Amino acid sequence: MFNKLFPNVELQDMITATNETLYMTIISVLGTLFLGIILGLLLFLSRPGGLWENKFLNWVTAAFVNVFRAIPFIILILLLFPFTDFLMGTIRGPKAALPALIIGAAPFYGRLVEIALREVDKGVVEAAKSMGAKNSTIIFKVLLKESMPALVSGLTVTAIALIGYTAVAGVIGAGGLGDFAYFYGFQRSDFDVVFVCTVLIVLIVFIFQFIGDILTRSLDKR
């Protein structure tokens, strides 16, 4: 039945491609989380009236974020080739896609982090100050903790965008479902392969969204 409907689909290839997509997504989500939180904190803390008010730092961070968000992802990959080569020692395969994925997504997530932090009640920060809290305590125990649901739902949105990016990265030979759909499906005119790859990507997106929603809900005690 399956073979009749999808004559060109090899199960083993599909599993490999799915694993590559999952690998790229998960590692880049982790990288984006780390870099995005740092960018978001820098944006939030250095703004006027912030804990580390600093015009220069704020300008530099905002410029970095805005520039990298403005570059279309496909061009960013090409632009980063030398950097990727230097960092990873290769420009092909799932590993080589990671720098571009993270640098492409982190500024986006950074903005979401900034928005989430801005939503934290100023009064709570003031209360922590009145108790004699250090800035580091305010950052880790108040700001990040109180904005957790927004940080998680923001990360879910970013992760889903990243799944899309991994498919784009496939076009330059990063591996994964996008790569497979293009080279083994589209170019050979085996549209059943394209179809199965699409279904698998949609499935992955749904799973990420589902996990994100559950986490957000369980963290939100408001």
Partner 1 sequence: MISIKELTKVFHTKDQDVTAVDHLDLNIQSGEIYGVIGYSGAGKSTFIRLLNRLEDPTSGSVTIDKQEITSMNKNDLRLARQEIGMIFQHFNLLWSRTVKDNIAFPLEIAKMPKEKREARVKELVELVGLKGRENAYPSQLSGGQKQRVGIARALANKPKVLLCDEATSALDPETTDSILDLLVDINEKLGLTIILITHEMHVIRKICHRVAVMENGKVVEQGDVLDVFLHPKRPVTKKFVDQVMGDPDQDHSLDLIHENYKSGKVLRLHFVGESTNQALISELSREFKIDLNILHGKITQTQKGAYGTLFVHVEGDQDEIERAQAYIQDTSVEVEVIPNVQ
User: CA–CA separation, 10 vs 56, rounded Å?
Assistant: 55
Min separation Cβ 194 and partner 1, Å: 45
**Between 35 and 74, how does the x/- string for binding to partner 1 read (CB under 8 A)?**
----------------------------------------
Q: Is 187 in the site for partner 1 (CB under 8 A)?
A: no
User: CA–CA separation, 18 vs 56, rounded Å?
Assistant: 44
The per-residue b/e assignment along 57-78, b for 16 or more CB within 10 angstroms, e otherwise, is bbeebbebbeebeebebeebbe
Of 25, 36, 107, nearest to 71 by C-alpha is 107
Helices 81-88 & 94-118, crossing angle to 10 degrees? 110
Nearer to partner 1, 70 or 131 (CB): 131
Amino acid 31 reads G
Nearer to partner 1, 10 or 220 (CB): 220
Residue 136 buriedness (CB in 10 A; 0-12 / 13-18 / 19+): exposed
First to last CA, the chain: 51
Residue 99 buriedness (CB in 10 A; 0-12 / 13-18 / 19+): buried
Nearer to partner 1, 38 or 219 (CB): 219
Min separation Cβ 221 and partner 1, Å: 4
By CB under 8 A, the residues from 111 to 150 that bind partner 1 are 121, 123-124, 126-134, 137, 141-142, 145-146, 148
Nearer to partner 1, 57 or 219 (CB): 219
Min separation Cβ 69 and partner 1, Å: 29
Nearer to partner 1, 24 or 120 (CB): 120
Nearer to partner 1, 48 or 89 (CB): 48
Min separation Cβ 133 and partner 1, Å: 5
Residue numbers of the site for partner 1 (CB under 8 A)? Answer: 121, 123-124, 126-134, 137, 141-142, 145-146, 148, 219, 221-222
